[in-house]
Amino acid sequence: MTAHPRPSDVEPAPETKRVFIKTFGCQMNVYDSERMSEALAAEGYVETADVAEADLAILNTCHIREKAAEKVYSDLGRLRDLKSLRAKSGKETFITVAGCVAQAEGDEIVRRAPAVDLVLGPQNYHRLPEFLSRLRGGEAALVETAFPDEDKFKALPARSPAKSASAFLTVQEGCDKFCTFCVVPYTRGMEFSRPVAALVEEARALVARGVREVTLLGQNVNGYHGEGAEGHATTLAGLIRQLASVDGLQRIRYTTSHPRDMTDDLIAAHAEEEKLMPYLHLPFQSGSDRVLAAMNRKHTADDYLRLIERVRAVRPDIAMSTDIIVGFPGETDADFEATVDLVKTVGFAYAYSFKYSARPGTPASSMDGQVSEAVKRERLERLQAVLEDGHRQFNVATVGKTMPVLFEKAGRQDGQLVGRSPYLQLVQADAGPEFIGEIVDVEVRAAGANSLSGVIRGSM
Ligand code: SAH
Ligand code: SF4
Ligand code: F3S
């Protein structure tokens, strides 16, 4: 086994300030929360999982569906009560709302929840320390949701010791696609790609801190067009090739891709780059061309199927995953059946499926033919049953095979670890903690819809 740094634990000194961070939404928010935590560590903050002892509570929010956004306000109610309880014993608590609800609602948050001290959009969180010192100086509620020219990534401190052998790395942000149901172009702004050199440097720093796998993140990650050598724009495939040359980095993944930007060179990379894992998350949203047109997806169901054929031609074993929306305005039973048919045709290893949620300011929210909650629920249940069948089939097909598993953390039972197969399947096996961060051959013995269990080769 190779020696390398392990994820470390930080013991807080008694006088340290504590920050509680709750993360909603997508992986990019998970990445942003880590970067906020690091920026705050430089100011003497240590993360706590106990909100009652937090001097600073941050909700890193998601605006994608109504439920996620509304949850923020119920949490803010609880935080307000905690804040006044702590004030009685002379303790100050700053409440911050970050992320996509902050961006979308801005001042409105402070109006609805006056206990909030700070509202920071996703492009402004590098300025957290500055805003906190202004609050300490006595300034009242502060709201910052501009899209600044400065690059937040340049202003953030270097990466801290890794919490896991697998890390996220944001390479692209924002989206210009304007699907008619989606808030992301409004909350994250226009597409922006980070330069290749900065990403290679961050990947090296992560590896030096114990990371073995990176998942490249972007709302539209395959639209990546970052500045490369001599100022030339580099594609995602080009970036992956450069990252593949980082010593010690053993696995590369990326998410989320749009079918329109699935270029030949990216497909080819799946055949050529050994470190690029055989997994592709490619949302199709609906199997009905009429609904796809109303969604402004700019692809048909057939385009999607042909695209998957091209990917499978170079990488037959690739695990496909997707996002699907049911109950988009005007969706008929026949449209929904087309979605179910497409799911059966492709055979997804994994999928995320959602009931359409009308979002303020998006074109679809004012379209005719809004579908009732009962119909949406019924369609989602039916779809999820079909999807689960597919996931189980995919997993069962790996029983008896031996796969390299990257062990990430302790499992639920003593003496057990959990890790990921190349196909992103969750794998449990009996193994000691010394295997965390290692890639080990595991023979799969059993499979369910959501996980596999196996034994380390050579251990029996
Ligand atoms: N950038 C990614 C994902 C964006 S949000 C992409 O383009 O695929 C993740 C998923 O949430 C979307 O793929 C979509 O399936 C779902 N989603 C977005 N807006 C939604 C809405 N208004 N109602 C329900 N689901 C939605
Ligand atoms: Fe939203 Fe994705 Fe469409 Fe962009 S491509 S608007 S992020 S669903
Ligand atoms: Fe949600 Fe914003 Fe991500 S709306 S899905 S947190 S980009």
Whether residue 7 is contained in a domain is answered as no
pLDDT band for position 11 (50/70/90)? Answer: low
pLDDT band at 161 (very low <50, low <70, confident <90, very high): low
Ligand 3 proximity of 62 Cβ (cutoff 6 Å): yes
Is residue 282 in contact with ligand 2, taking CB distance under 6 Å?
A: no
State whether the beta carbon of 299 lies less than 6 angstroms from ligand 1: no
- Tell me the mean pLDDT in the region 21-50: 95
Query: Which pLDDT score, from 0 to 100, does residue 275 have?
Result: 98
Q: Is residue 203 part of a domain?
A: yes
pLDDT band at 3 (very low <50, low <70, confident <90, very high): very low
pTM for the predicted model, two decimal places: 0.94
CA–centroid distance, residue 102 to ligand 2 (Å): 19
Ligand 3 lined by 99 (C-beta under 6 Å):
yes
Between the two ends of the chain, the Cα-to-Cα distance in Å is 19
SS3 content of the chain, % helix, strand, coil (to 5): 40, 20, 40
Query: 205 and 86: one domain?
Result: no
pLDDT computed for residue 151 by the predictor:
83
Element (H, E) at 379: helix 373-396
Domain co-membership, 283 together with 221: yes
Beta carbons of 165 and 28 less than 8 angstroms apart: no
Single-letter residue type at 170:
T
Cβ of 220 closer than 6 Å to ligand 2, yes or no, is yes
Instruction: Decide if pLDDT at 340 tops 90.
Output: yes
Average pLDDT on 79-93 reads 96
Instruction: Specify whether 222 is located in the same domain as 341.
Output: yes
Whether 184 lines ligand 1, by a CB cut-off of 6 Å, is yes
Cα distance between residue 319 and residue 406, in whole Å: 17
Mean pLDDT of 345-355: 97
104 plus 160 within the same structural domain? no
Chain mean pLDDT for the chain:
94
- For ligand 3, atom 7, name the residue with the nearest CA: 184
Phi-psi region of 210 (alpha: psi -120 to 50; beta: other; left: phi over 0): left
Q: Is 411 helix (H, G, I), strand (E, B) or coil?
A: coil
pLDDT at residue 83 above 90?
yes
Q: Is the pLDDT of residue 12 over 60?
A: no
For residue 412, the 8-state DSSP code is S
Give the confidence band of 92 by pLDDT, cuts at 50, 70, 90. very high
Q: Is the pLDDT of residue 291 over 50?
A: yes
3-class DSSP state for residue 126? helix
Residues 356, 325: contact at Cβ < 8 Å?
A: yes
The pair of three-digit structure tokens given for residue 44, joined into one six-digit string: 């003497």
- Segment 300-329 shows an average pLDDT of 98
The protein residue whose alpha carbon is closest to atom 9 in ligand 1 is: 323
359 lines ligand 3 (CB under 6 A): no
List phi, psi (to 5°) of 455: -125, 145
Write out pLDDT tens, residues 308-319. Answer: 999 999 999 999
Q: Among the atoms of ligand 3, which is closest to the Cα of residue 68? A: 1
Q: Among residues 364, 396, 428, which one ends one of the domains? A: 396
* Same domain (yes/no): 389, 415: no
Question: pLDDT at residue 8 above 60?
Answer: no
Confidence band, pLDDT 50/70/90 cuts, at residue 1? very low
Closest ligand to C-alpha of residue 365 is 1
Over residues 253-287, the pLDDT tens digits come to 999 999 999 999 999 999 999 999 999 999 999 99
3 state SS for 260-288? HHCCHHHHHHHHHCCCECCEEECCCECCC
Which atom of ligand 1 is least distant from the CA of 364? 22
Token pair for 160 = 């801290």
Q: What's residue 150's pLDDT?
A: 80
Report the percentage of the chain scoring pLDDT > 90.
89
Ligand 3 centre and the CA of 79: distance in Å?
Answer: 22
- Residue 5 in domain: no
Cβ–ligand 3 distance for 100 under 6 Å, the answer: yes
How many angstroms is it from 101 CA to the middle of ligand 3?
Answer: 9
Strand, coil or helix: what is 169?
Answer: strand
Looking at the fold, whether 380 and 338 belong to one and the same domain comes out as: yes
Q: What is the pLDDT of residues 205-248, one digit of tens each?
A: 999 999 999 999 999 999 999 999 888 999 999 999 999 999 99
Task: Tell me, in angstroms, the distance from the centre of ligand 2 to residue 182's CA.
Answer: 6
Tell me what pLDDT residue 15 has.
66
Question: CB burial class (10 A; 0-12, 13-18, 19+) of residue 212?
Answer: buried
Q: Which residues of 98-107 are buried (b: 16+ CB within 10 A; e: fewer)?
A: bbbbbbbbbe
CA distance 228 to 428: 40
123 Cβ below 6 A of ligand 1? no
Q: Are residues 63 and 122 in the same domain?
A: yes
Predicted pLDDT at 163: 74
Same domain assignment for residues 354 and 384: yes
Ligand with minimal distance to 364 CA: 1
Which of 87, 113, 144 is the endpoint of a domain? 144
Output 329 or 8, whichever has higher pLDDT: 329
Q: Please state the rounded mean pLDDT for residues 386-407.
A: 97
Least confident of 157-171, 328-342, 430-444: 157-171
Distance CA(98)–CA(144), nearest Å, equals: 10
What is the structure's pLDDT at 10? 52
What's residue 159's pLDDT? 81
CATH of residue 334's domain is 3.80.30.20
Q: Which ligand is nearest to the CA of 64?
A: 3
Distance 182 CA to ligand 1 centre (A): 6
> Which residue's CA is the closest to the ligand 1 atom numbered 5?
64
Task: Give the per-residue pLDDT at 37.
Answer: 95
Give the pLDDT of residue 336.
98
Residue 4 — pLDDT band, cuts 50, 70, 90?
very low
Q: Is the pLDDT of residue 111 over 80?
A: yes
pLDDT score of 301: 98
Domain of residue 93, CATH code: 3.40.50.12160
Q: Whole domain around residue 420: which residue ranges?
A: 402-456
Mean pLDDT of 123-147: 93
